[in-house]
Amino acid sequence: MPAGADRERRRVGIVDVAAAAGVSRQTVSNVLNGREEYYSTATYEKVTSAMRALGYRPNRAAQTLRSRRTAQIGYHIFGEQLDQAQGFTLRFLQSLVRAAAEVDHQVLVFTHRRDDPLGVFKDLVARHAVDAIVLSESTVDDDRARFLADSGIPFACFGRLAPDLPQHWVDVDNTAGMSAVVDALVADGHLRFAYLAADGDQYWKLDRLDGVVRRLAHHGVRLPKSAMFRGSDQGVRRRARQLLTGKNPPSAIVTGSDAVAAAVVGVAHSLGLGVGSDVAVTGFDGGAVGLVTEPTLTSARIPVDRVSRTLVARCLRQVEHGRDDEPGLVLPTELVRGGSA
């Protein structure tokens, strides 16, 4: 039996498509890569129908090797995440994956090793495993961002960066977000406020606090020192209890995040107070946490989808045109009204 008779199920390659369509392999490649100047509509039809008929899908490794584009975006997550970020990280990742998919890219998730935080980054860059890297929960002076900037790989951060770093970032307007929350509360007639938040001196935590203080001042409402607290989850609960059982309790408790708000809601319940009626509670984030509290949270929603889409766009821009001097982008939050305020 001649070798040609083998029922061998060969992978279908670009040449098979070319043969089936009666054109050369490049024409197929051009169609594949949407180089519209280089083929006629008729050719396009022939080629695409041949691809469909053969069930052809280009081999990624070959494309990558030749074009030097992986169509993959790296996303760094921290290994240990017992904190507030928990819920948000997954929401963001989901959004990022969708945003990447919209432009035919995939997301490679990676973590660092404890003993060598930058090692993975070096590896990824050196091995050309990704076209760009996205960072979230970045600090202003972020080691990772600094390394990426030095190495020259395209990147973008969710969170603003120091002025001496490339401004490849997107962030939300924390101050304005809190202002909107305060405005709504004031419009509802609240006069006695408190602000509770997780501790930490990240700029966004400070911005949120600042937003509340300033906006209340704008409305002529003072926020007494004793009604401001930033600390651990436990500390927040304790202080919430103190405030709510003390004399002249706040009628509205603004918090720095949905996680904190959820904790406060729990405390209020435990004191037999009606949330949204006896006391208003607000959060910041607008993700899933706020939907499982009872009542649901009024919160400043972070527009995750816009954030991730922008991040992906900025990455690809750098991939295609080299490092740019675009400034950072600040996105507004959206006030979502739940039953908690």
Partner DNA sequence: CTGAAAGCGCTAACAT
Partner DNA sequence: ATGTTAGCGCTTTCAG
Chain contacts with a copy of itself (rule: CB under 8 A): 55, 57-62, 64-65, 70, 72, 75, 77, 79-82, 86-87, 89-90, 93-94, 97-98, 101, 106-111, 113, 120, 123, 126-129, 233-234, 237, 259, 263, 266-267, 269-272, 288, 291-292, 294
Report how far residue 15's alpha carbon sits from residue 142's, in angstroms, rounded to the nearest whole number. 47
DSSP tag of 284: E
226 binds, among DNA, a copy of itself, none (CB under 5 to 8 A by kind): none
Q: Which of DNA, a copy of itself, none does residue 15 bind (CB under 5 to 8 Å by kind)? A: DNA
Q: Are 308 and 96 in contact (CB under 8 A)?
A: yes
Helices (H), ranges, the chain: 14-21, 25-32, 41-54, 60-67, 85-102, 119-126, 143-151, 174-187, 203-218, 233-245, 258-270, 289-292, 304-321
Rounded distance between C-alpha atoms, residue 40 and residue 59, angstroms: 24
106 in contact with DNA (CB under 7 A): no
Q: Which of residues 22-61 bind DNA (CB under 7 A)?
A: 22-30, 32-33, 37-40, 42-43, 56, 58-59
65 vs 29: CA distance, rounded Å: 15
For a copy of itself, the closer of residues 53 and 291 by Cβ is: 291
- Which residues, other chains included, contact 2 with Cβ-Cβ below 8 Å and sequence gap of 6+? none
Q: Is 129 in the site for DNA (CB under 7 A)?
A: no
Q: Which does 42 bind (CB under 5 to 8 A by kind): DNA, a copy of itself, none?
A: DNA
Find the shortest distance in angstroms from Cβ 317 to a copy of itself.
22
Binding-site partner at residue 25 among a copy of itself, DNA, none, CB < 5 to 8 Å by type: DNA
CB of 52 to DNA, least distance (A): 15
Under the binding rule (CB under 7 A), the answer on residue 103 touching DNA is: no
Asked if residues 159 and 219 have their Cβ atoms less than 8 Å apart, the reply is no
SS3 call for 204: helix
Q: Which is nearer to DNA, 62 or 217 (CB)?
A: 62
Rg (CA), the chain: 26
Which residues of the shown chain bind DNA in the complex (CB under 7 A)?
11, 13-15, 22-30, 32-33, 37-40, 42-43, 56, 58-59, 62-63, 65-67
